[in-house]
Amino acid sequence: MQRLLVLNGSPRKKGNTSVLSEYLLNQLSSNYKTEQIFLYDYSINPCMDCRACKIDELECILEDGMSEIYKKIDQADVLIFGSPIYWFGPTAQTKMLIDRFRPYFSNKKLEKKKAAIVLPAGTGSADCDLTTEMFKRVFDALDVDFMGVITSKSYDVGDAYNDKKAMKNVELLAQKLL
Ligand SMILES: Cc1cc2nc3c(=O)[nH]c(=O)nc-3n(C[C@H](O)[C@H](O)[C@H](O)COP(=O)(O)O)c2cc1C
């Protein structure tokens, strides 16, 4: 069975990123082995631009929570990146994760994997444009197939449940991933 991994970059475990991601997971759980991890549970250090990932094993040599996350990513067929919008961008922990993707530029291990993004924001889609563009370019650089973006106008915990358009878009994304 194929694997689907949600990389949840919200500090709020029951927040809107989780509402949207879990709705997606529920619809795909008979077709994928699914898992959601919370990036704030892991210690992820910044990329130091040491360039060790450009030689020999083409792996990151830092020893921290990323070792476990790299393994999960390597095993996954579909990656869902979930992040609330913080100041027009992804959360710091999400950006920390993306910066540590440098090895994938060399080792090409993400090639042909599928990915989608889940972005709740208080103002809705208007503030998601830069983050969507960032992810699209990351996926392009790493040869990952971009499957779609879910934006949602949600601010307080649970608001996403009431964003019917966003929930519908989650259903459409789930169908695309079947
Ligand atoms: C530090 C911070 C910055 C934020 N910046 C924005 C922003 O630029 N635009 C926006 O629409 N919402 C912004 N928000 C609101 C969050 O995106 C929104 O509450 C979201 O639903 C949180 O998702 P979560 O429940 O998964 O944590 C910000 C929230 C915080 C805490």
Q: What confidence tens digit (pLDDT) does each residue in 5-56 have? A: 999 999 999 999 999 999 999 999 999 999 999 999 999 999 999 999 999 9
Q: What is the pLDDT of residues 70-115, one digit of tens each?
A: 999 999 999 999 999 999 999 999 999 999 999 999 999 999 999 9
**Ligand 1 atom, smallest distance to 123 CA:** 11
The end-to-end CA distance of the chain, in Å, is 12
Domain count for the chain:
1
Quote the pLDDT of residue 119.
99
Domain hosting residue 128, numbered range: 2-177
pLDDT value of position 176: 98
Burial, 103: exposed, middle or buried (Cβ in 10 Å; 0-12, 13-18, 19+)? buried
Q: What is the pLDDT of residue 44?
A: 98
**What's the confidence (pLDDT) of residue 177?**
98
Ligand 1, CB cutoff 6 Å, lining residues: 10, 12, 15-17, 84-88, 120-123, 127, 154-155, 157
Distance in angstroms (rounded) separating the CA atoms of residues 138 and 7: 15
Test site for ligand 1: of 36, 91, 155, 156, most ligand atoms within 8 A of the Cβ = 155
pTM of the model: 0.98
CATH, residue 93: 3.40.50.360
β-strand partners of 115: 79, 146
